[in-house]
Amino acid sequence: MAPVTVVLILGLVQGLGEFLPISSSGHLVLAQAYLGLDEPEIFFDLVLHLGTLLAVIYFYRSCLVDLIRAVRLLPGAVIHPSRFAAYYRLRPDFHLGILILVGCVPTALIGLIFQDTFEALFASPRAVGFALLITALFIGATVKAPLAKILTPQAMTIKMALAIGLIQGLAITPGLSRSGLTIGLGLFLGLENALAARYSFLLSIPAILGGLLLTAHKSLATSFGTPEIIAGFLAALATGYLALWFLVRIIKPGRLAFFAPWCALVGLLAVIF
């Protein structure tokens, strides 16, 4: 298979899998094994993740501008606790920004402590298969999610942010879908559909960026040339944006479960073969 075809396939897999609840890391492991790439393409994986990172930043650009403006108030608010309490209670952007910072904490701790354990799983397609089966069970169970009772960021709590950040950290495991687990947990906690998706994807920005920083110091050798790398990056960027646009518009309680059969099928095939 021509190198450009290989990188386009991997870019497509990364773009779709990063935001659809099917696990991009798990599908990349299986795709690379199927395509005969014996060694993990660390540098190329970084490029693909950069593509999807830019996709989510562009998609939520206006929200990010509001969050940055709100978080700029944080130093002064920390010095004056009463001001912090007022901002947290009255400003949705400040409240959401604090919850994103809180959600990053368990994700970062899990990533730093268990980095080597997670990386070892990337060499085991069978382990990826079992993780995909867990993803299938979790997102399939969202058909039982309660009716939404939390409609605004201000109604979210610190405990909710920590719980979603914790499950995002566990989703570093290839085969566990980050979006599926975080949005699904948000729905189980009673978050309204759009809020669950928005919090999940905004929380993914520091998570993806942190993952890039953790692996950037590793070997940057790659078997692909510059044109192939650019093609893969553009494929991940374009398909990532489209996947994000699609999921945000169809997400409702029960609809995450539409992806459970695919995860179960791919997981079973990986375990068996």
Taking only the tens place, the pLDDT of each residue in 128-155 is 999 999 999 999 999 988 888 898 889 9
Rg (CA), the chain: 19
The pLDDT score that the predictor gives to residue 40 is 57
DSSP letters along 151-214, please? -SGGG--HHHHHHHHHHHHHTTSTTS-HHHHHHHHHHHTTB-HHHHHHHHHHHHHHHHHHHHHH
Strand, coil or helix: 90: helix
Structural domain count of the chain: 1
The pLDDT score that the predictor gives to residue 86 is 83
Token pair listed for 217: 């110091």
Strand, coil or helix: 40: coil
Instruction: List the domain range (segments joined by +) for residue 43.
Output: 3-272
198 pLDDT band (50/70/90 cuts)?
very high
| Residue 170 pLDDT greater than 90, yes or no | yes
The residue with tokens 């993990």 is 40
Please state, in angstroms and rounded to a whole number, the distance separating the CA atoms of residues 96 and 85: 13
**How big is the chain, counted in residues?**
273
The pLDDT score that the predictor gives to residue 39 is 59
The pLDDT score that the predictor gives to residue 261 is 96
| Among the listed residues 61, 9, 44, the one whose alpha carbon sits nearest the alpha carbon of residue 205 | 61
187 pLDDT band (50/70/90 cuts)?
very high
Rounded to an integer, the average pLDDT of 90-99 is: 91
Residue of 214 and 272 predicted with greater confidence: 272
Contact 223, 1 (CB under 8 A): no
